[in-house]
Amino acid sequence: MLWRTLGLIVLMLAALATAKARAADCPGNPNALGTSRVLTIDPREFPRIGMVQYTRSLPLEDKEVVLTFDDGPLPPYTNRVLDVLAEHCVKANYFLVGRMARGYPDLARRILAEGHTVGTHSENHLLGFDRAPLDIVKNEIERGIVSVTSVVGKNSAATSFFRIPGFLRRHEVEAYLQSRHMTTWSADLVADDWRHISASEVVRRSIARLYKHYGTRVRRAHDDTGDRWYFIKSRYHHRPVETQFHVDRFSRKKARVLDVFILFTDKGP
C-alpha cells in the first residue's frame, strides 16, 4: 500500500513540476522570479529541519530559497501576500492555524488552489508547547490537523508538515510528531519580525542575514500581522509593499525559489 501511494504521489509531483511556473512564462510579468523546482521530502527521512534549532536543513542547492508563512490565514494580509506571490509566479509553504482556517475557509482554500503547500501550526497557536501537559499539546496538534483538513482536504501536507508555535520545542513533542510521520519545521534564518521594529528594519535584517548565510536556506515569515518575513520558519504576514520589496530583492540577487511537497502520505509502518 505504501509503495502504491508513493508511486501515485511521485507521478503527481512530476506533473506539478512540469507545470511549475517559470519567470519566462509568468503571464504579464517577464521579470517575475518564478519557482525553480519542486522538492519532495519524506518525513521519515527528515523528521526535523531548520538550522535555528536542529542540525539539518533541506537539501537545497546554492541560492535556492524556500518561503514559508505561519499563523494565517488572516485577511487582508494573506490575500495581499497571495496576490504578490501570484504576480511573480512564486510558490510558498503555509503553516495554518486550525481556528484561522475554519474562520476563513475560502482564504485557506485559495492558498491550496493557487499551488501553495499547506501544513499546520496547531489549533490555537498555543505558546506553551515547551511546558504544557503533553495531552494538551497533542490535542492542539490533532485539532489543528482536523480543522485544516476539514477545510482544504486530507490530500495535502496538513497531515505531514508541522511548525511548533513560537519554536517552543521539547523532545516529547518532537517525538510525538515523528511517531505520526510528521516533519517538524524550524527555520534556517529569522528576521526578528516579532520584535517592536519597523517593517524597513525587518527587511534590512532579513536580507542581510539571507546573503550573509547565502546557500541552502529556508525562510520563515508571518501572514497574519502585515510586517513579517523569515526563512524555513515562515509566517508570512507582510504588508503587500514589503512582500513586493522582498520579492524584488530576491529577483535582483538571482535567488531561486522552490516549493516543497510531502513525499509520503501513508501513515503505515
pTM greater than the 0.75 cutoff: yes
| Confidence bin at 154 (pLDDT 50/70/90) | confident
Please list the alpha-helical segments (H only) found in the chain.
Answer: 2-19, 77-87, 98-103, 105-113, 134-152, 171-179, 199-212, 240-252
Q: Taking all residues of the chain, what is their mean pLDDT, rounded to a whole number?
A: 76
pLDDT for 32 beyond 70: yes
Span between the terminal Cα atoms of the chain, in Å: 10
Q: What is the pLDDT, as a whole number, of residue 107?
A: 97
For 23-27, 168-172, 221-225, which range has the lowest pLDDT when averaged over its residues?
Answer: 221-225
Q: Which has the closest alpha carbon to 36: 258, 260, 246, 232?
A: 258
* Rounded average pLDDT over 216-228: 47
* Rounded average pLDDT over 50-68: 84
pLDDT in tens, 111-120: 999 999 999 9
Residue that is written with C-alpha cell 494538551 in the block: 136
Tell me if 89 sits within 8 A of 34, measured CB to CB.
Answer: yes
Domain 40-262 matching CATH 3.20.20.370: the answer reads: yes
pLDDT in tens, 1-21: 333 223 223 322 333 333 344
